Amino acid sequence: MDTKTKLISSAERLFDRHGFTATGMDKLTQAAGMSSRTLYKHAGSKTALITDVLAERHRRFQHSIEVDSVAALFDALEAWVRVEGCRGCLFLRAQGETGGDTPEIADAVRTHKAALYAKIQEIVSLETGGLHPEKAEQVLVLYEGATATAVYRGVDAIVAARAAASALIQQARA
């Protein structure tokens, strides 16, 4: 594994477990197994490192939601949290920690959420024959809710969200 990949993946882990602000550069260099000079050569700054981490996570997340039904969307989320754990949406957490004051981070969040919503719109349109576009936002809310609620209620929240989403879609088809 090359230097930058190792840096980003170990940084993602630390940011996710302990928060962005609370994670210092010493912890990051130590976890990545490199000197601070090397870290700065590859990342440039802490903000840039956070941006890189979010971009990589977005890439991986996008791949994980390549599905074509609402039920499968929540199955994918369940599989995700089983592998990655459930500490809430890392993008919204980054937004919250910075108060939206860091433009690069705010942009990464916007991009990620726009893509998520677009994907959900695509799936819902597929399942309802494009007849109920308002259901997309409801499914989005269920998806975000599943992610947030799983923090303290675990996978049960995702199971409940999938059931609710399926019921709403079923209802739209009738």
Distances (CA, A) of 130 to 93, 113, 161: 33, 21, 22
Q: Which of residues 45-84 bind DNA (CB under 7 A)?
A: 45-47
**Region of 30-38, 41-49, 96-104, 120-128 interacting with a copy of itself (CB under 8 A):** 96-104
Distances (CA, A) of 151 to 1, 12, 154: 31, 18, 6
Side chain identity, residue 149: T
**Region of 19-27, 54-62, 82-90, 109-117 interacting with DNA (CB under 7 A):** 19-27
**Min dist. Cβ of residue 109 to DNA (A):** 19
Q: Which of 95, 120, 124, 127 binds a copy of itself (CB under 8 A)?
A: 95
**Region of 47-55, 64-72, 75-83, 108-116 interacting with a copy of itself (CB under 8 A):** 108-116
Nearer to DNA, 41 or 173 (CB): 41
Asked if residue 103 binds DNA (CB under 7 A), the reply is no
Neighbours of 18 (CB within 10 A): 13
What DSSP line would sit under 10-56, residue for residue?
A: HHHHHHHHH-TTTS-HHHHHHHHTS-HHHHHHHH-SHHHHHHHHHHH
Asked if residue 9 binds DNA (CB under 7 A), the reply is no
Asked whether 136 and 117 are in contact (CB, 8 A), the reply is yes
- Which residue ranges make up the site for DNA (CB under 7 A)? 2-3, 21, 23-27, 33-38, 40-42, 45-47
